[in-house]
Amino acid sequence: MQEVKLNKEIYIHVGPPKTGTSAVQKWLSSNQSFLKKQGVFYPSHSVDANGVSSGNVKSVYDIDENKQLCLNKVRLTNLIDTFHKSEYSILLLSSEFFFREMDEFKLHIPNAKFIAYIRNPLETKESSYNQSVKRHFQVKKINVVRRKQLPFMVRLVEFSEQFGEQDLVLRLYGERYFHHNNIVSDLLTVIGIELNVELPLVNNSYQFEAMEFKRWFNQFHLEDYQANVDRALQGYLEGCGQYSLIPQKQYIDDLIYYASMLEKYTTKLGASHLGPLITDMKTASPNPYVAQELTDSDFLSVCQYLQKTLGLDYYLLTQDIKLLSPIQNPHFHNLFVKSCNRKYRYIHLLLVGRSYLRRLVKKSIKALSLKF
């Protein structure tokens, strides 16, 4: 693989997870023509209905039989060579999957610069938990046990100790730290582009009531309904939006503990510019604590919203869940099944009857045509 020319730069945005990668990748993917005019080559990738993607990981990696990432050296070489032969001055890649593969990238692209965002560890913890409920069928309550280390920071320190910190670009995650108060504008400044971007919400966190409903719903593991229910629940705006699942005193104690830990990591990384986050963590006020329990009225409020949003699909969902035995909270199972408006049952019967009649008519017409 040829060396990077002096007028060519390669940036690899590695996340890590829960630092706005979905918003970044959706914007970059939707604005390739703008980036091209700025001399930036950002390879295309798909984005799902929720605006979420795995970024550029498939541009250079395969998934092996053990479902592990495996670098496709041919594709990587072709990508780099195509970039060198082009008029682009910057190659930008983005995927949180790259975070664990930084060493491998560095060995194959020695001149690459890696962009990583540092976030309040407790925000990361709660956001990761929310995501596990949304997309990964989590049914357990959040684990509030304090960690003895911060794995993402450990990984960055290990990388800097092996390769040096000169090609590691560390940025603070949070609106008050971002350039122009958004992560895309902030990332663009790293590669030399000044732009005030307006971002739509991507991969929204649930309101508390929606999250607890989804945690209950996950026990049934209904993959066919997963995407529709998740998308609908992201639009549920009633109830509690600002909350913490960690008791207030523990949250404050943990913040101080993690702030001290971050200070040690930033010293090793030579990253004194991360200081504002550490200072803010020592003086932060947590969101109001809520215990992970729903009242009947809260549960039914979410049910009614889903029914209004999903319509007939909600009836079909209640019928499928009716046949399943609940592991957690059978009382909610009964409430859910009975929450469906009878009109959807009649609409379903009407549609089934209409479909049956259509098949019967087609069968009769076919029989008559064969007879004559």
User: Strand, helix or coil at 41?
Assistant: strand
pLDDT band for position 290 (50/70/90)?
very high
Mean pLDDT over residues 64-79, rounded? 93
- Both tokens assigned to 25: 């990748």
| pLDDT value at residue 345 | 72
- Both tokens assigned to 42: 């950002």
| pLDDT value at residue 343 | 79
Segment 316-370, tens digit of pLDDT:
999 899 999 999 999 999 999 999 887 777 665 555 555 555 666 566 666 666 6
Mean pLDDT of the chain: 91
Segment 171-207, tens digit of pLDDT:
999 999 999 999 999 999 999 999 999 887 666 789 9
| pLDDT value at residue 52 | 78
Query: Which DSSP string corresponds to 7-20?
Result: T-EEEEE---TTSS
**Distance, CA of 50 to CA of 206 (rounded, Å):** 13
**Distance, CA of 222 to CA of 320 (rounded, Å):** 9
pLDDT band for position 4 (50/70/90)?
very low
Which regions of the chain does DSSP assign to beta strands (E)? Answer: 9-13, 40-41, 61-63, 69-71, 90-94, 113-118, 168-172
| pLDDT value at residue 96 | 95
| pLDDT value at residue 1 | 46
Identify the H or E element spanning 331. helix 330-338
**CA 184 to chain CA centroid, nearest Å:** 16
| pLDDT value at residue 175 | 94
| pLDDT value at residue 53 | 83
Q: What percent of the chain has pLDDT over 90?
A: 81
| pLDDT value at residue 5 | 43
| pLDDT value at residue 218 | 97
Query: Which DSSP string corresponds to 43-108?
Result: ------TTS---TTHHHHEEE-TTS-EEE-HHHHHHHHHHHHHSS-SEEEEE-GGGGGGHHHHHHH
Rounded to the nearest 10 degrees, what angle do helices 121-135 and 248-269 cross at?
Answer: 110
Mean pLDDT over residues 230-253, rounded? 95
Q: Considering only residues 220 and 66, tell me which one the structure prediction assigns the higher pLDDT.
A: 220
pLDDT at 242 over 50: yes
**Distance, CA of 204 to CA of 230 (rounded, Å):** 10
Mean pLDDT over residues 126-135, rounded? 94
pLDDT at 146 over 90: yes
pLDDT at 158 over 70: yes
| pLDDT value at residue 51 | 72
The total of other beta-carbon atoms located within 10 Å of residue 198's CB is 9
